[in-house]
């Protein structure tokens, strides 16, 4: 996971949520996102994507998938 580029990690997370992949895999991706969130450049990228319309749809999918 640590060798994934930042943008690939974010894309992988969004795709995993959209495709409703294994929740344990999604949790691993989120753990890595959380670990990288101390990096200001990564945090800006994550915030931009997660606040976009596409990111909001993925987040909504994650909520539906969790329930």
What gap in Å lies between CA 24 and CA 11, rounded to an integer?
17
The pLDDT score that the predictor gives to residue 23 is 92
User: Could you give the residue ranges of the DSSP H alpha helices within the chain?
Assistant: 6-18, 23-36, 40-50, 53-66
The pLDDT assigned to 54 comes to: 58
Tokens of 14: 């969004």
Q: How much is the pLDDT for 53?
A: 59
pTM of the model: 0.69
Print pLDDT tens along the chain (67 aa): 667 899 899 989 989 988 989 999 999 999 999 999 899 998 888 888 877 755 555 555 554 455 4
């Amino acid at each position: 996971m640590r060798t994934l580029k930042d943008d690939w990690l974010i894309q992988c997370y969004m795709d995993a949520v959209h495709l409703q992949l294994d929740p344990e895999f999604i949790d691993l991706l989120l753990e890595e996102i959380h670990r990288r969130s101390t990096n200001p450049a990564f945090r800006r990228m994550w915030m931009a994507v997660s606040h976009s319309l596409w990111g909001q749809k993925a987040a909504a999918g994650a909520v539906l998938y969790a329930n």
